[in-house]
Structure 1
Amino acid sequence: MTDIYEPYSEYCPRCQTHHTTRIERTRGNCWWITFVLGCIFFFPLCYWLCCASSKDTKHFCPSCGTLLAVRQGGC
């Protein structure tokens, strides 16, 4: 089974070839909601926010930089 948070082989419609994606992890809406609720109600919940799986993962073509997929983390 492929981990959706790691690079994988994807077809790029712009380059018209298969590439292993380049990833960037960003803080999405779910991350911010959990952060605010964790700080207000349950501070130890914020430990989860340090994990890479709590962030959104954007997959890009390494050749042309086209955004190929966004995988939402956490929620």
Structure 2
Amino acid sequence: MTTVIVGSPKITDTYEPYQEYCPRCQATHTTRIEQTRGNCWWITFVLGCVFFFPLCYWLCCASSKDTKHFCPSCGTLLAIRQGGC
């Protein structure tokens, strides 16, 4: 699937799909989400492995990952929720 970025995506505070207006489709949709490992996740992973192994348990949680909200119709990146730090 092709990802299209129209302007800059807004910062949101939710990890769950929600209703968002898509400027490309000019309609309101429930977002499609993808969770990815961001910079904070990798820093925590390295520090957890080197210094404090139980810290790595936190990395399994959805709140430790970045959540990207996309338009389900056209694939436009609408919002980002940065996880962790």
Taking structure 2 as the reference length, the TM-score comes to: 0.84
Structure 2 unaligned blocks of 5 or more? 1-12
For 1:11, give the aligned amino acid.
Y
Runs of 4+ in 1 over 4 A off after TM superposition: none
Structure 1 unaligned blocks of 5 or more? none
Distance 1:64 1:28 in 2: 24
How much is the aligned-residue C-alpha RMSD, in angstroms?
0.8
Number of matched pairs: 73
1:51 alignment counterpart = 61
Percentage identity across paired residues of the two chains? 90
Higher relative contact order (CA 8 A, sep 6+): 2
Taking structure 1 as the reference length, the TM-score comes to: 0.94
- Whether 1:28 and 2:38 are equivalent positions in the alignment is yes
Post-superposition offset of 1:40: 0.6
